[in-house]
Amino acid sequence: MARGKLILIEGLDRTGKSTQSEKILSALGDEAVLLKFPDRTTRIGELINQYLTDSNFELPAQSIHLLFSANRWELNSEIHSLLEAGKHVILDRYVYSGVAYSAAKEIPGMDISWCFNPDKGLLKPDLTLFFSNQDSSSLQDREGFGEERYEKIEFQKRVRHTFSNVFDHISDPNRAIVDVSDRSIEEVFRYIEPLFRTVINKDLEGFTYF
């Protein structure tokens, strides 16, 4: 049986990642499963959720970084099994968010290379779509923006910049940038559908790893 494909939707906060991930899932039906990182339902995920939603719950930047990575590792073998069973796995955020949000804190010693290290060896997606908008100022208008840690315009600007450095650091020919500015949900979906369908129809053997 052909293995399933690993499709990653990445990007800044509130660029429509979750909406499009759901639309890909509906388009693929029961051939696919959708997983979201952080997965807040595990014990590690509960800690991450607490860190994101409770400003009184502090952790060293290194510790929360390693928890986000640990959260990916705890699902790695499940993702592997799903792909081997022929299911396509759609990921809503993954390694690139992990590196970009932490490195954007600009903590001495926590550079991109340090941040990437604990994720080395994780399954590498067959396709990564990076959702980007022209600038972060419209974020202020998005419902709910500002409720969680990291949802601040200044920080988002740094994350945007850091993502592009992360992409320079981690080479990947199977990555595309999707500019979502001024595009409706349907327009974005029409743009990405041929991209993920092409990957799904490919006959790939074996896996690649970060």
Binding-site ranges for ligand NYM (CB under 6 A) = 13, 37-38, 52, 68, 93, 97-98, 101, 150
Q: Which is closer to ligand NYM, CB of 53 or CB of 198?
A: 53
Is residue 103 packed enough to be buried (19+ CB in 10 Å), middle (13-18) or exposed (0-12)? buried
97 vs 106: CA distance, rounded Å: 15
133 binds, among ligand NYM, Mg ion, none (CB under 5 to 8 A by kind): none
Nearest distance in Å: CB 37, ligand NYM: 4
Output the furthest CA–CA distance in the chain (Å, rounded). 50
Q: Which is closer to ligand NYM, CB of 3 or CB of 20?
A: 20
83 vs 77: CA distance, rounded Å: 10
Q: Which is closer to ligand NYM, CB of 80 or CB of 152?
A: 152
Nearest distance in Å: CB 153, ligand NYM: 13
- Piece of the chain touching Mg ion by CB under 5 A; list 5-13, 92-100, 109-117, 185-193: 5-13
For Mg ion, the binding residues in 8-67 under the rule CB under 5 A are 13
Asked whether the beta carbons of 8 and 207 are under 8 A apart, the reply is no
Both tokens of residue 82?
A: 């799903």
Asked whether the beta carbons of 86 and 1 are under 8 A apart, the reply is yes
